[in-house]
A and B are shown apart, each in its own frame.
Chain A
């Protein structure tokens, strides 16, 4: 049996090679995929988030840890799907129409995946219709909208309005974020939540799917 603490450490340190190697060893030794995720990888990402909140870690460290986690998840996902394990939630994420900036969106997407969510990454410059399709056809229950520019922020409102017009607004929670976005703006446009950083976005998404 491999030392699974090494998996935790590899995710925490953003060491993708080691994370993948330990995951392979663990699977070969018969470890349950879900156990690797819940006992080692998710706690490691939670610790990454904690370190980010107290400014021990920064965005590059978040990305490297998420990258390590994703490397392992590539091996684990097919096995989870076979055994019928459901994700924490299904998030359709994208940078809104007219905005090509995707660094922040990619970061949130990576951390959501690390947090156990299935992520439908729609990319940048995403038209409202694509978010609607992701809800209707792929079962997204959270829509995450990103914008970096004040110029493109109005497209967040347009997207939420389009979800209403398509009759799917009540099926989803909408979260928004991006450098110029404020909590007031989120409220004004009818979003369900706002996060000012990627780590907190995972907590927000978890609050949406938590049983009341």
Chain B
């Protein structure tokens, strides 16, 4: 997704910004103005919902990033997460919500929220989600296997956590929500299983996201669906037709002008310059950024699909390469 807020944030050189709603809101607004967009895309931080869930479950803050369940949480724990929806958010999350509120109330920009998708959050809670999902896809039931039971219950907790995050951002004034599902890809979900008729994509990805989509729809909030993972065209088609986002953002491995064939014309395609490689002049020279940008713009114009030029991912700050990254983003936006 858009990298602007990340680039501006790193100019601030003050980590306290992340806990200060007003200053964070200013960073988001500054990024939107600098990169000439009315969409106030927030700072991407896909660790927030995991931290929110684990804080509730009593995991120490320092252990959150590396925490994985080693057994399936019991049903009471899952129910407890669902019931505790009204609890206060952490300072960091509250600052994010405050930044959305700043945009909504004090600027003319379009306030956009962001959260991790339920499937991707589940994959952060389990050490080996891939095997467990594949086993589920092969017909192993939660009753038969601890791993399958663990991914199912963690997915239920993830959905509850993500819905809570969405409600918080909607209350702050978000008019659209970027739902990031980078793990819903062909590394985590076997194309072999999906093509042989397994329900894993429906069961683990589409179904929980449909619930989230329902919540957004109830509040008139648009869905911007982001998935920078490796995908099959049929997965993109399902995202489009089943979740009905206003916008789909994809990774640089996709040719957007080809994916346009499976995405209805009323859904904007966003992306997808390979910003993950912008740090390296050898892997991605400035001239190649210019060429790729021009090619993408021309191809999208040719295919006639609504398109917003953007980056593939926000996670790109490399201190020693900050200037070359910034330069390449500017080249993207020339003309």
**A124 touches which one: B66, B129, B187, B317 (CB < 8 A)?**
B66
**A188 touches which one: B65, B135, B276, B282 (CB < 8 A)?**
B282
A154 to chain B: closest CB distance in Å? Answer: 6
CA of A106 to CA of B186, assembled, Å: 17
Scan B105-142; emit 1 where CB is below 8 A from any A CB, else 0: 00000000000000000010001111101110110000
Q: Is B71 an interface residue (CB 8 A)?
A: no
Contact A184 B280 (CB under 8 A): yes
The segment from A19-27, A55-63, A132-140 that touches chain B is: A55-63
Which residue of B is nearest A58, CB measured?
Answer: B190
CA of A192 to CA of B103, assembled, Å: 49
Contact B276 A60 (CB under 8 A): no
CA of A63 to CA of B318, assembled, Å: 31
Contact A60 B66 (CB under 8 A): no
Contact A61 B134 (CB under 8 A): yes
Known contacts A60-B134, A184-B282, A185-B280; is-contact A149 B315 (Cβ 8 Å): yes
A182 to chain B: closest CB distance in Å? Answer: 5
Which residue of B is nearest A107, CB measured?
Answer: B130
Contact A58 B66 (CB under 8 A): no
Contact A64 B315 (CB under 8 A): no
Known contacts A103-B187, A125-B66, A153-B318; is-contact A67 B131 (Cβ 8 Å): yes
Contact A150 B276 (CB under 8 A): yes
Contact B187 A59 (CB under 8 A): yes
A55 to chain B: closest CB distance in Å? Answer: 8
Which residue of A is nearest B194, CB measured?
Answer: A58
Contact B320 A154 (CB under 8 A): yes
A171 to chain B: closest CB distance in Å? Answer: 28
CA of A184 to CA of B281, assembled, Å: 10
Q: Is A180 an interface residue (CB 8 A)?
A: yes
Interface residues of B in 260-319 (CB under 8 A from A): 276-277, 279-280, 282-283, 315-319
Q: Is A100 an interface residue (CB 8 A)?
A: yes
Scan A92-125; emit 1 where CB is below 8 A from any B CB, else 0: 0000000010110011000000000000000011
Chain A residues with Cβ below 8 Å from B280 are: 182, 184-185
Q: Which of A59, A125, A153 has the most C-beta atoms of chain B within 10 angstroms of its own C-beta?
A: A59
Which residue of B is nearest A101, CB measured?
Answer: B124
**B134 touches which one: A64, A100, A103, A182 (CB < 8 A)?**
A64
Chain B residues with Cβ below 8 Å from A60 are: 130-131, 133-134, 137, 188-190, 192-193
CA of A124 to CA of B127, assembled, Å: 11
Contact B283 A182 (CB under 8 A): yes
Contact A103 B130 (CB under 8 A): yes
Q: Is A32 an interface residue (CB 8 A)?
A: no
Q: Is B233 an interface residue (CB 8 A)?
A: no
User: Number of residues in A with C-beta < 8 Å to the partner?
Assistant: 28
**A151 touches which one: B133, B134, B135, B318 (CB < 8 A)?**
B318
Q: Is B191 an interface residue (CB 8 A)?
A: yes
Contact A100 B66 (CB under 8 A): yes
Contact A59 B130 (CB under 8 A): yes
CA of A49 to CA of B277, assembled, Å: 28
CA of A61 to CA of B196, assembled, Å: 14
A76 to chain B: closest CB distance in Å? Answer: 21
A170 to chain B: closest CB distance in Å? Answer: 26
Which residue of A is nearest B186, CB measured?
Answer: A58
Known contacts A103-B130, A150-B276; is-contact A61 B190 (Cβ 8 Å): yes
Chain A residues with Cβ below 8 Å from B315 are: 149-151
Contact A58 B131 (CB under 8 A): no
Contact B131 A64 (CB under 8 A): yes
CA of A106 to CA of B187, assembled, Å: 13
Q: Is A179 an interface residue (CB 8 A)?
A: yes
Which residue of B is nearest A184, CB measured?
Answer: B282
A104 to chain B: closest CB distance in Å? Answer: 8
A177 to chain B: closest CB distance in Å? Answer: 14
Which residue of B is nearest A51, CB measured?
Answer: B192
Interface residues of A in 141-184 (CB under 8 A from B): 149-151, 153-154, 179-180, 182, 184
Contact A184 B187 (CB under 8 A): no
Chain A residues with Cβ below 8 Å from B129 are: 103
Contact B130 A63 (CB under 8 A): yes
CA of A60 to CA of B191, assembled, Å: 9
Contact B192 A61 (CB under 8 A): yes
A-B contact pairs, 30 of them (CB 8 A): A58-B187, A58-B190, A58-B191, A59-B186, A59-B187, A59-B190, A60-B130, A60-B134, A60-B188, A60-B192, A61-B134, A61-B192, A63-B130, A63-B134, A64-B131, A67-B131, A100-B66, A102-B127, A103-B123, A106-B127, A150-B276, A150-B279, A151-B316, A151-B318, A153-B279, A154-B318, A154-B319, A182-B277, A184-B280, A185-B282
Q: When A and B form their complex, which 3 residue pairs have the shortest distance between CB atoms, in order from nearest? A: A60-B134, A60-B190, A184-B282
